[in-house]
Amino acid sequence: MNILLWIDRLNLLAGRAVSYVVWIGAAILVWEVVSRYAFGNPTVWAHGYTQRIFASYFILIGAYTLLRGGHVRVDLLLTNRGPRALAFFDAVNYAFLLIWTSALTYEGWNFFQEALLWSERDDSALAHPLWPVKLVLVVAAGLIALQAFAGFIRSVVAISFPSKSNLGALRHES
Q: What pLDDT was estimated at residue 154?
A: 94
CA 2 to chain centroid: 22
Contact 137, 104 (CB under 8 A): yes
Per-residue pLDDT, 109: 97
pLDDT for 128 equals 85
Q: What is the pLDDT of residues 23-78, one digit of tens each?
A: 999 999 999 999 999 999 999 888 889 989 999 999 999 999 999 988 887 777 77
Q: What's the rounded mean pLDDT across residues 140-165?
A: 90
Domain-by-domain residue ranges, the chain?
A: 2-172
What per-residue string of b and e applies to 30-49 under the rule 16 or more CB within 10 Å gives b?
eebeeeeeeeeeeeeebbbb
- The lowest-confidence range among 5-14, 75-84, 147-156 is 75-84
Arithmetic mean of pLDDT over the chain: 89
CB-based burial, 117-146: b 16+ in 10 Å, e otherwise: eeebeeeeeeebebbebbbbbbbbbbbbbb
- DSSP per position, 78-105: TTT--HHHHHHHHHHHHHHHHHHHHHHH
pLDDT the model gives residue 107: 96
Give tens-digit pLDDT for 105-132.
Answer: 999 999 999 999 999 998 888 888 999 9
